[in-house]
Amino acid sequence: MKVAAIFGFKNPEIKALHLTWIAFFITFYVWFNMAPLASSMLKSVNWLTADDLRLFAICNVALTIPARIIVGMALDRFGPRRVFSILMVLMSIPALTFAFGNTMTQLLVSRLVLSSIGASFVVGIHMTAMWFKPRDIGFAEGFYAGWGNFGSAAAALTLPTIALQMYGGDDGWRWAIAQSAIVMALYGVYYWFAVTDGPVGTVHRKPRKASALEVSTWGDMVKLILWTIPLIGVLAILVWRIQNMGYLSVTGAVVAYVVICSIVCYQIVQILRVNVPILKKGVPEDDKYPFNSVAALNSTYFANFGAELAVVSMLPMFFEETWSLGAAAAGMVAASFAFVNLVARPMGGLVSDRMGNRRFVMLSYMFGIAVGFALMGMLNSSWPLIVAVGVTVFTSFFVQGAEGATFGIIPSIKRRLTGQISGMAGAYGNVGAVVYLTIFTFVTPSQFFYIIAVGAFVSWLLCFMWLKEPESGFADEYAVSSVDLQIEEEDRIRTASLG
């Protein structure tokens, strides 16, 4: 696939790609619509404090992790068109509630529920995989993610102007947020009718069970359990942070910890219920896949997307304090980290397509991240600002490229499990953000960058040991196993009997 192909709007797959990245763009615009309006909120709502906004920021990512897992399961069962449309329409409700909320409870709960919109990324990944061949999937996924992810930066650039200039007054911020929510709901309805789950005649490969990821061996089942625990367990860090801020009592925290443990146990039970019968029966050789590759890609997204979310939140202040810049200038310099996304992430997928070796590309990008953040750890006021910006852009190039390369591999690991694997890897990106941001509260910026560099190098080691080149990574079609055909036949018989 050539880069110029993205302008072929009459091609159905290109049309689907553009419709999908716009949907992702809108959801991320809504997800990050609070931070740019924080100062307006403080001026307008006299009982609101800066600590309250910090609490809302934590809530804004709290449910994203479990939501990505749940949405991943829903994708494999219902398809991305339905899931994306319903997600956009439903999430407009908490967005509107936040816009016009007048109590602490309304704002807190609505922001907590709205954090589920962060799962939208996984939906588009699945939709794009249904439209594009394995040989082109890297660039397609990278373009979708790079341009869609820019919705967060677009929110920062446009929402203050919309609130102050278009609406004005004390409630300008409310109408700006409400406007973004209404646009998302309307686009959700439009998306339902504008796109299909792959070309007409495409067979939607579904897993046997959507409640847990299928694995190929007993050892893989143990690994899946071990990799599942942090996905829910990391919420304990958020509970701890909220308790330390004084917004949660000891009793409330204990209740939250018990709930988290219960959910972890439930997930483990589901893994056992789905996989024990399958493994006892025996998995056909042509249906096996390497779970180690899934684990390796979980680690890459922890180390690249997790680092991106964490660094973007602290980078403006780092430049402001280190080089004595004004807030606006520091924000523009730090924004260079996000702007690279538009080019670097699609390029990461494109390189993955063109090199003919997705594993090598993944290893190269992760090593580049480790080098880049090690260089950022050396930055101080004695470095010329232009060089510091150059190092930041260099690092961002590898971070965004690695994100594109990660999802250039996932669809080829096991076609019918793409939603669940994408959900798990995507959730690990948020786990990384929570872990890194928590660490940042205890260290200096330079130490923080070095820690991220170490995390990237550990991921590089895991990829070197575990990541395998996907068998159908550059084929015209995704590999179809005997189990896929069996499931397809069972669905055909079930549909015929209902008809």
Q: Could you report the per-residue pLDDT of 465-486, keeping only the tens digit for each?
A: 999 988 766 666 777 788 878 8
For 58, the enclosing helix (H) or strand (E) is: helix 50-62
Which residue from 37, 33, 35, 25 is spatially nearest to 151, judged by alpha carbons? 25
Residue 377 lies in a domain: yes
Mean pLDDT (whole number) for 219-242: 91
Residue 2 lies in a domain: no
DSSP character at residue 11: S
Q: Could you report the per-residue pLDDT of 45-81, keeping only the tens digit for each?
A: 888 888 888 788 878 877 888 888 888 888 877 889 9
Q: Could you report the per-residue pLDDT of 357-405, keeping only the tens digit for each?
A: 889 999 999 999 999 999 999 999 999 999 998 999 899 889 988 988 8
Q: Is 98 helix (H, G, I), strand (E, B) or coil?
A: helix
Place of tokens 């015929």: 496
Question: Which string of b and e fits 297-322 if b means at least 16 CB within 10 Å?
Answer: bbbbbbbbbbbbbbbbbbbbebbbeb
pLDDT of 327 over the 70 cut: no
Return all residues near 346 (Cβ < 8 A) that are at least 6 apart: 3, 139, 142, 143, 146, 147, 404
pLDDT of residue 476: 67
Under 8 Å between Cβ of 95 and 30: yes
Task: Supply the range of the domain harboring residue 313.
Answer: 213-498
For the chain, the domain total comes to: 2
Mean pLDDT (whole number) for 406-425: 85
Residue 167 lies in a domain: yes
Residue 171 and residue 219 in one domain:
no
Question: pLDDT: is 366 or 1 the higher one?
Answer: 366
Q: What is the Cα–Cα distance from 434 to 313, expressed in whole angstroms?
A: 12
pLDDT of residue 450: 97
CATH of the domain at 327: 1.20.1250.20
Residue 332 and residue 452 in one domain:
yes
Residue 281 lies in a domain: yes
pLDDT grade for 204, boundaries at 50, 70 and 90: low
Residue 233 lies in a domain: yes
Question: pLDDT: is 88 or 150 the higher one?
Answer: 88
Residue 42 one-letter amino acid:
L
Q: Which of 182, 210, 238 is the last residue of a domain?
A: 210
pLDDT of residue 223: 96
Residue 170 lies in a domain: yes
Residue 352 and residue 234 in one domain:
yes
Residue 341 and residue 450 in one domain:
yes
With left for phi above 0 and alpha for psi between -120 and 50, is residue 5 left, alpha or beta? Answer: alpha
Q: Which of 179, 210, 241 is the last residue of a domain?
A: 210
Q: What global pTM score does this model have?
A: 0.84
Residue 148 lies in a domain: yes
Q: What is the Cα–Cα distance from 228 to 278, expressed in whole angstroms?
A: 19
Residue 17 and residue 114 in one domain:
yes
Residue 398 and residue 264 in one domain:
yes
Under 8 Å between Cβ of 106 and 97: yes
Residue 468 and residue 353 in one domain:
yes
Question: pLDDT: is 131 or 338 the higher one?
Answer: 131
Residue 218 and residue 206 in one domain:
no
Which residue from 302, 425, 353 is spatially nearest to 141, judged by alpha carbons? 353
Residue 204 lies in a domain: yes
Q: Which of 194, 210, 226 is the last residue of a domain?
A: 210
Residue 311 and residue 293 in one domain:
yes
Question: pLDDT: is 449 or 345 the higher one?
Answer: 449
To the nearest whole percent, how much of the chain has pLDDT over 70?
95
Residue 182 and residue 225 in one domain:
no
Q: What is the Cα–Cα distance from 436 to 309, expressed in whole angstroms?
A: 9
DSSP character at residue 219: H
Residue 228 and residue 204 in one domain:
no
Residue 222 and residue 289 in one domain:
yes
Under 8 Å between Cβ of 89 and 109: no
Place of tokens 């996932």: 410
